[in-house]
Structure 1
């Protein structure tokens, strides 16, 4: 993906992501995690060595799946909020149904 993925402030890493990269060198781990952040934040797919590319693709699949799930949840929450707002508007009394106030006098006081 070449465009910014979302305004989501976080992403999930799983224990199995560590297991998949445990034998990497520190340099490979650093490049991989930088790549994961770049992808999650900006949608940029980096150039990596072959071993890191395999791990990145594995993690990328989960990031994409989690983002779709997040977007579906946001859409569902937005629709539910619209439904609640419409129900409140429907339940709100019309002007015709609100009794007119009666004029009161001060009785000279």
Structure 2
């Protein structure tokens, strides 16, 4: 990757965190809303989720429901499943960079 490409990529990353949506997302406090939910809730998370850290996510949700008085919650963490609830595949270090680039290209439809 050329130095120009690297700089362009860095600038794009920096610019992306200044978008109003991203700033709003980073400030969002889901516990404020979760505390207000009184109906039964089913919360599912994969143990190998790399996008949403399972332990802290599930603990935060559990605490918010408890603080809000909702006792009608079921929280489950499924072993060896990723964010898409698919069996997590071992990461192959030499393929990771290429795989990440392809995922980003697909995501941004480049």
Structure-2-length-normalised TM-score: 0.25
Between Structure 1 and Structure 2, the one with more helix by share is 1
Higher-Rg member (1/2): 1
Q: TM-score, normalised by structure 1?
A: 0.25
Between structures 1 and 2, the one with greater strand share? 2
